[in-house]
Amino acid sequence: MKKIISIIVLFFLFAGVSMAQESGKPGYKPGSYYTFTWDVGFPVGDMNKWAGQTSPAGWDFGGRYLLQKGLTVGFNIGWQRIGKIYDDETFTIPEKGLAINAENYRLTWMVPFQAVVAYHLKPASIISPYIGLGIGGDYAEHHLLIQEYDVYETRWDFALAPEIGVLAKFGAFSNWGAIIAVNYKWTTNYVDIYDTKFNNLAWFNLRVGLAVTLR
- What CATH number does the domain containing 140 carry? 2.40.160.20
Mean pLDDT (the chain) is: 84
Determine which of 19-23, 32-36, 131-135, 193-197 has the lowest per-residue pLDDT on average. Answer: 19-23
Greatest alpha-carbon pair distance for the chain in Å reads 73
Could you give the number of structural domains in the chain?
Answer: 1
pLDDT band at 29, cuts 50/70/90? low
167: exposed, middle or buried (C-beta count within 10 Å: 0-12, 13-18, 19+)? buried
174 contact partners, CB below 8 Å, separation of at least 6 = 23
Give me the pLDDT at residue 3, please. Answer: 52
Does residue 15 surpass a pLDDT of 70? no
Does residue 136 surpass a pLDDT of 50? yes
Instruction: Tell me the residue range of the domain where 193 lies.
Output: 2-214
**Is 206 within 8 Å of 182 (Cβ atoms)?**
yes
Give me the pLDDT at residue 30, please. Answer: 59
Question: d(Cα 213, Cα 215) in Å, to the nearest integer?
Answer: 7
pLDDT band at 8, cuts 50/70/90? very low
70 contact partners, CB below 8 Å, separation of at least 6 = 119, 120, 121, 122, 123, 130
**Is 187 within 8 Å of 159 (Cβ atoms)?**
yes
Question: d(Cα 113, Cα 8) in Å, to the nearest integer?
Answer: 16
**Is 159 within 8 Å of 114 (Cβ atoms)?**
yes
| pLDDT tens per residue across span 68-86 | 888 999 999 999 999 999 8
| pLDDT tens per residue across span 138-183 | 999 999 888 778 889 999 999 999 999 999 999 878 889 999 999 9
